[in-house]
Amino acid sequence: MNLTIENILLVGSLLLLISVLAGKTSYKFGVPTLLLFLAIGMLAGSDGIGHIHFDNPQLAQFIGIVSLNFILFSGGLDTNWTSVKPILKEGLILSTLGVLLTALTLGTFVWYVTDFTIYESLLLGSIVSSTDAAAVFSILRSKSLALKTNLRPTLELESGSNDPMAYVLTIAFLTLVINQDQSVMSIIPLFFQQMILACISGFAFGKLSKYIINKIKLDFEGLYPVLVIALMFMTFSATDFVGGNGFLAIYICAVYLGNQELIHKKTILKMYDGLAWLMQIVLFLTLGLLVFPSQVIPYVGIGILISLFLILVARPVSVFLSLMFFKMKTRRRLYISWVGLRGGVPIVFATYPLLAGIDKAHMIFNIVFFISITSVLIQGTTLSLAAKWLHVALPEKAKKITEIDKFILELPKSSLQEITLLPDYYAVNKRIIDLNFPQSAFIVMIKRKGEYIRPGGATTLEAKDVLMVLADEQSDFTKVHDCLNKPDKRVSS
């Protein structure tokens, strides 16, 4: 079946519906949803029952890059800086040195057991060297897995920030495969250029995005998530244009925005959560359609060998060497090693050799595809079990709820107070977003001239407004009063 303009929407909507319904029940049987989406795509493909012929690596790569933008940005928005800050060094070491060691260790093994050249082997190792953000974010959050000693933020920070390193290594070794007269040392300037420019660009666009979101006045609340999408793609493309890594830039930008006060933040977070799931489904369906299972079967043997070496040797070696100078219990290192999930990102990166037309491109693609499947199947289905065995899982009653969770879930606070704004209050004629309101308290309703107003970040407070404020503790109300009634230094000066 060939896709045409007439039937593409019908086929796409049916695949999307099947994926959503199947994903609803998949975890009852311990099957990760991402693997299910991939299987549905394969069943719909040329070798499956759907007979949809899709053999366009360039289009698949484009869809993959767009999807990764949404997935990484959504993961960044949900990243709590307070929980990430204590493990920042560990996460960055894993996402740089850990990725490099994984690529070198696995590449050397591939060179030893296959007829690949050393550069081709290191190219394959680089493609699968990073943990997959979509797989880690999806599986950890779907299972609501609570882990001890900052393990979860460590894993999410690593998976969200290590794709740039794998991308740089993939492009570098692909260049060496095509131009074997170049030196390995030539990749070092490329690495520093990509990382440094990405950090600068990500933070700068984060600051700029916050200013634009809070200052621009849009007539409809639903336009704010659209504005953020535009800013996200602008961050990615502008960073790539100047020679930086767009994936890292959008993740940094999103982490910054997720920890700032934004107008209609709840709407933005909820919409991005839905878009991230949509993009994960689209990405894995596309990759499932792109692969031909009949072409993967001849590489099952070597694929199993390489995959097991990656899971049991290359990943643990890179984790233990990267974290050797940090004080950390062995069982925590072992669990970090086990959560080395490979998913859609390596398959997207494997399209680069296909488009470059190198000799062993199809072999590399099929091996990478098999590695991703086995990783999600073996590691993804055993994350909870491994956490219990290694004693790194928190008991159900000990699971912590972050302020972001409270914000999204709208959990009730312990007490409610009504606060009347007097004409001389600092907050009069100011927007809520500009007040630096305490995160542990919320204005749930405003009574103004006998009418009730549901507030948002852009709501301007007026004299004699009655604010209904929810807060956790009595001390939070003291902060609220200080915030509303502090003197306006600009007037007094």
Per residue in 69-88, pLDDT tens?
998 898 888 887 877 888 88
Q: In whole angstroms, what is the distance from residue 275 CA to residue 73 CA?
A: 10
DSSP-assigned letter for residue 367: H
Q: How confident is residue 408, by pLDDT bands cut at 50, 70 and 90?
A: very low
**For the residues 97-109, what does the mean pLDDT come to?**
94
Q: What's the mean per-residue pLDDT of the chain? A: 82
Q: What is the pLDDT of residue 320?
A: 95
Q: Computed over its alpha carbons, how large is the radius of gyration of the chain?
A: 25
Can you tell me the distance from the alpha carbon of 379 to that of 383, in angstroms, rounded to the nearest whole number? Answer: 6
The continuous run of DSSP H or E covering 300 comes out as helix 300-309
Greater model confidence, 148 or 1: 148
Domains, in order of start, for the chain = 8-398 (1.20.1530.20), 412-492 (3.30.70.1450)
Burial of 251 (0-12, 13-18, 19+ CB in 10 A): buried
478 vs 119 pLDDT, higher one: 119
Closest CA to 157 of 108, 89, 100: 89
What confidence score (pLDDT) does residue 147 get? 72
Structure pTM? Answer: 0.74
Measured distance CA(229)–CA(68) in Å, rounded: 13
Strand partners, 448: 451
In the numeric block, the tokens 């919320």 are attached to: 442
| Residue with more model confidence, 366 or 411 | 366
Query: Which of 341, 404, 329, 406 lies closest to 375, judged by CA?
Result: 341
- Which of 18-32, 292-306, 309-323, 390-404 has the highest mean predicted lDDT (pLDDT)? 309-323
pLDDT at 396 over 60: no
pLDDT tens track for 150-175: 787 888 788 878 888 888 899 889 98
The H or E element spanning position 156 is helix 151-161
Helix 118-127 and helix 361-378: axis angle, to 10°? 40
Residue 226, pLDDT > 80, answer yes
Mean pLDDT of 281-309: 87
Among 60-69, 205-214, 407-416, 418-427, where is mean pLDDT lowest? 407-416
Q: Please, how many CA atoms are within 13 Å of residue 70, restricted to the half-sphere of its CB?
A: 23
pLDDT, tens only, 443-476: 888 888 878 887 877 788 888 888 888 877 777 7
Report the length, in residues, of the chain.
Answer: 493
Laid out side by side, the sheet with 441-448 consists of 415-420, 466-471, 441-448, 451-453
222 neighbors 267 (Cβ within 8 angstroms)? yes
User: Given CA atoms 185, 189, 195, 196 in this order, what sign does their dihedral have?
Assistant: positive
Cα(154)–Cα(52) distance, integer angstroms: 40
Please determine, for residue 59, whether its predicted confidence score (pLDDT) is greater than 70.
yes
DSSP 3-state of 80? coil
**Measured between alpha carbons, how far is 306 from 309 in angstroms, rounded to an integer?**
5
Query: Distance (Å, rounded) from C-alpha 167 to C-alpha 210?
Result: 28
Closest C-alpha to 277, from 127, 62, 78, 8: 78
pLDDT at 3: 55
Q: Are 428 and 491 in contact (CB under 8 A)?
A: no
Tokens of 130: 């990073």
